[in-house]
């Protein structure tokens, strides 16, 4: 089983739609979770961190479910400019429970928003 898994998509949605992505992780001791966004042929950039209580940033909402070991990203009122690959990122835990801060990426979910 991969350490971090995402549905690769692609997701094709019309402008204004609501779309959600899930990401599962295998290490129950993981402590830090993130969503990154990557545009075609560009570097990944942080979209948002994911907090235990869930968090929202404008049209974007991130949730963490520790019991089921998944995180989610919800995008409301999709814009054309939201078209990108969304990467789920989880940190790794070392021996003794120490957080090395080494981050593992999912393979990414491709989103295309069309007019």
Q: Which residues of this chain interact with another protein, rule CB under 8 A?
A: 8, 32, 34, 36, 41-46, 49, 87, 89, 91, 99-108
Per DSSP, what are the bridge partners of residue 109?
86
At closest approach, how far in Å is the CB of 17 from another protein?
Answer: 25
Q: Buried b vs exposed e over 43-74: b needs ≥16 C-beta within 10 Å?
A: ebeebbebeeeeeeeeebbbbbeeeeebbbbe
Write the DSSP symbol of residue 77. S
At closest approach, how far in Å is the CB of 2 from another protein?
Answer: 9
Q: Which is nearer to another protein, 42 or 59 (CB)?
A: 42
DSSP alpha helix (H) spans, the chain: none
Q: Which is nearer to another protein, 32 or 76 (CB)?
A: 32
At closest approach, how far in Å is the CB of 14 from another protein?
Answer: 26
Q: Which is nearer to another protein, 17 or 72 (CB)?
A: 72
Q: Which is nearer to another protein, 15 or 39 (CB)?
A: 39
At closest approach, how far in Å is the CB of 83 from another protein?
Answer: 17
3-state secondary structure of 10: coil
What is the C-alpha to C-alpha distance for residues 91 and 36, in angstroms, rounded to an integer?
13
């Amino acid at each position: 089983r991969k350490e971090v898994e995402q549905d690769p998509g692609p997701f094709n949605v019309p402008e204004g739609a609501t779309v959600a992505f899930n990401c599962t992780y295998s290490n129950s001791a993981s402590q830090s979770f993130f969503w990154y966004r990557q545009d075609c042929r560009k570097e990944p950039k942080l979209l948002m961190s994911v907090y235990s209580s869930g968090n929202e940033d404008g049209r974007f909402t991130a949730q963490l479910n520790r019991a089921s070991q998944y995180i989610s990203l919800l995008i409301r009122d999709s814009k054309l400019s939201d078209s990108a690959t969304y990467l789920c990122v989880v940190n790794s835990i070392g021996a003794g429970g120490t957080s090395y801060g080494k981050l593992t990426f999912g393979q990414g979910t491709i989103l295309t928003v069309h007019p």
